[in-house]
């Protein structure tokens, strides 16, 4: 089963993806993680995207589609969880084509719905907790970048709701419930 976890920054996509990795042996493909890895290892591409990411804007479709293509061509898995990808309509089209080429299907698109005020609080907390634990704080986990990231979500990513709804693949669950209840909500949708 291949699924997309959709939702704004701070919705809990990464946390829920981790549960699915542990419980179902699926493989998480997070373009955010791939880009941060490229950034920290100082590759040419990492250097090119660093400023854009730090500002909270989206990097080009070409780059992220290339990253996903490479993973799909080299990693074998019983199922993929696309986390933070696709984020634009061209990315959604490209994912459809890539999966088709590989004889795979996209089974479900699950949106984690969370109100904006809660997102801001979660991101600010994430930064504080990382700092307190002596871990690196994401350069885009601050209020200015978050505003840009939310803007990008509503402008460029939220049209995917209609796109997948029209294909009969869209479902949503309450992402504001307790973490374990969100996990159950996602599981129910996957098993329905
Ligand atoms: P994330 O970890 O998913 O919140 O992504 C962090 C940042 O990486 C985003 O704010 C974008 O700058 C970039 N990014 C991640 N995934 C994508 C994508 N699918 N398309 C464009 N930019 C992306």
Global pTM value: 0.95
| pLDDT of the residue at 3 | 98
Q: Which run of H or of E encompasses 92?
A: helix 89-101
Which residue's CA lies nearest to atom 11 of ligand 1? Answer: 58
Cα(96) to centroid(ligand 1), Å:
19
Are 90 and 12 contacting, i.e. CB atoms less than 8 angstroms apart? no
Active-site annotation, residues = 13, 87, 126, 138, 149
State the Cα–Cα distance between residues 49 and 186, nearest whole angstrom: 32
Q: What is the residue-level pLDDT of the chain in tens, covering all 192 positions? A: 999 999 999 999 999 999 999 999 999 999 999 999 999 999 999 999 999 999 999 999 999 999 999 999 999 999 999 999 999 999 999 999 999 999 999 999 999 999 988 998 888 898 899 999 999 888 998 888 988 999 999 999 999 999 999 999 999 999 999 999 999 999 999 999
Q: Which residues line ligand 1 (CB under 6 A)?
A: 9, 31-32, 35, 52-53, 56-59, 64, 84-85, 87, 91, 140, 149
| pLDDT of the residue at 143 | 85
Residue 42 zone, left/alpha/beta (φ > 0; ψ -120 to 50; rest): left
Q: How many CB atoms lie within 10 A of CB 77?
A: 15
Are 150 and 142 contacting, i.e. CB atoms less than 8 angstroms apart? no
User: By three-state DSSP, how is residue 117 classified?
Assistant: helix
Q: What are the structure tokens assigned to 139, written together?
A: 């350069």
Cα(129) to centroid(ligand 1), Å:
21
| pLDDT of the residue at 117 | 87
């Amino acid at each position: 089963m291949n699924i997309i976890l959709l939702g704004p920054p701070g919705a809990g996509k990464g946390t829920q993806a981790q549960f699915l990795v542990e419980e179902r042996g699926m493989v998480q493909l997070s373009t955010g993680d791939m880009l941060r890895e490229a950034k920290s290892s100082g590759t040419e591409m990492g250097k090119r995207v660093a400023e854009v990411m730090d500002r909270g804007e989206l990097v080009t479709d070409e780059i992220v589609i290339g990253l996903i293509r490479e993973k799909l061509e080299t990693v074998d898995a019983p199922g993929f969880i696309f986390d933070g990808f696709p984020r634009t309509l061209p990315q959604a089209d490209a994912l459809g084509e890539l999966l088709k080429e590989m004889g795979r299907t996209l089974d479900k698109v699950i949106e984690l719905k969370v109100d904006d005020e809660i997102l801001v609080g979660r991101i600010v907390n994430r930064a504080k907790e990382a700092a307190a634990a002596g871990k690196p704080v994401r350069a885009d986990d601050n209020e200015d970048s978050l505003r840009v990231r939310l803007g990008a979500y509503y402008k460029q990513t939220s049209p995917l709701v209609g796109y997948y709804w029209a294909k009969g693949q869209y479902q949503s669950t309450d992402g504001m419930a307790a973490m374990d209840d969100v996990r159950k909500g996602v599981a129910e949708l996957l098993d329905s």
